[in-house]
Amino acid sequence: MAKLEARGVEVEYMNARTGKRLTALQDVNVDIEQGEFISIVGTSGCGKTTLLNAIDGLLPIKRGRIRLDGKDIKGPGRDRAVVFQSPSLLPWRTVEDNIMYGLELQGRRRDLKAQETVKSLIRLVGLSGFERSYPSELSGGMQQRVNLARALAIDPELLLLDEPFAALDAQTREFMQAELLRIWESTHKTAIFITHQIDEAAYLADRVIVMSSRPGTVRKAITIDLPRPRSLHIKRDPKFLSYVDEIWALIEEEGRKSGSLAAAVAS
């Protein structure tokens, strides 16, 4: 049994003003194995984030089912954690207290094991020495490390990352990609990563799922057969570049098919 199973998933939105319904996802079928790192890419508006939100239980599905560890997802749960594009850290809390937040909501603030978990995660994400710093005193990359540590603190079965590096400058983004892989290789959490950046998707993932244009469905799942651990130097490898070209060709085709090549270029 796969860690996560999506079968025939359909999601639609209703325009409250016009009353019209828009199908965002249609007949989405995905299997994700324990410990896999999956990237999802596609043209703008193809439903990448919609799928992530459905997996997190934040959006109801019209048809189909999504199962985690054999159980239907019917709403948000402690077995999933989301890392958003914005760190959304509480400005009045220190690094340590922001990471503790989820555990505190579980009533574990004074739990010695929880306190050790926070200390361990601070070391894991490379923020030793910044425990008592506030978000305003951190760089964008450092804030996202806190964001990631906060998600890992509750020990989720599934880590959902929605374009977490999109707001970072190019150099910091490259560095954070390498940092994320280092952290993932220490935890081997099952992870789903949404991105518009094709080389980022291929660099991070075991498989890259390419979505069709709206209504989004799985166009193709591409296995990235490259050795781990990976360094950023692998992005110059001809085999890596062939994966990027293959993914880009599919996205470009979907952009042309939908009459929105500009959307493909934006991806």
- The pLDDT score that the predictor gives to residue 266 is 43
Whether 122 maps to a domain, the answer reads: no
The answer to whether residue 114 is domain-embedded is: no
18 within some domain = no
| pTM above threshold 0.75 | yes
- pLDDT of the chain, 267 residues: tens digit per residue: 899 999 999 999 888 888 888 899 999 999 999 999 999 999 999 999 999 999 999 999 999 999 999 999 999 999 999 999 888 999 999 999 999 998 988 887 778 888 999 999 999 999 999 999 999 999 999 999 999 999 999 999 999 999 999 989 999 999 999 999 999 999 999 999 999 999 999 999 999 999 999 999 999 999 999 999 999 999 999 999 999 999 999 999 998 887 655 444 444
Question: What count of Cα atoms within 13 Å lies in the side-chain half-sphere of residue 47?
Answer: 28
Q: 36 — phi, psi (to 5°)?
A: -75, 145
In a domain, 257, yes or no: yes
**pLDDT at site 265:** 44
Neighbours of 67 (CB within 10 A): 15
State the Cα–Cα distance between residues 99 and 146, nearest whole angstrom: 6
Tell me the residue range of the domain where 167 lies: 31-60+74-79+156-266
The pLDDT value given to residue 28? 97
Q: Do residues 58 and 80 make contact, with C-beta atoms less than 8 angstroms apart?
A: no
Q: Which of 267, 237, 246, 243 is CA-nearest to residue 255?
A: 267
What is the C-alpha separation between 178 and 48, in angstroms, rounded?
A: 23
Helices 170-187 + 140-153 axis angle, to 10: 20
Of the candidates 140, 127, 134, 7, the one whose C-alpha atom is nearest the C-alpha of residue 61 is 7
| Residue 126 domain flag | no
CA 205 to chain centre: 11
Q: Rounded to an integer, what distance in angstroms lies between the CA atom of residue 85 and that of residue 162?
A: 6
Which contiguous run of DSSP H or E holds residue 147?
helix 140-153
CA neighbours closer than 13 Å in the CB half-sphere of residue 178: 12
CATH code for the domain of 245? 3.40.50.300
7 found inside a domain: no
The number of folded domains in the chain is 1
**Under a CB-based contact definition with an 8 Å cutoff, are residues 123 and 155 in contact?**
no
Nearest Cα residue to 127 out of 159, 153, 109:
153
* DSSP H/E element including 122: helix 112-124
Q: Cis ω on the peptide bond leading into residue 215 (within 30° of 0)?
A: yes
How far is Cα 189 from Cα 128, in angstroms, rounded to an integer? 22
Question: 35 lies in a domain?
Answer: yes
227, part of any domain:
yes
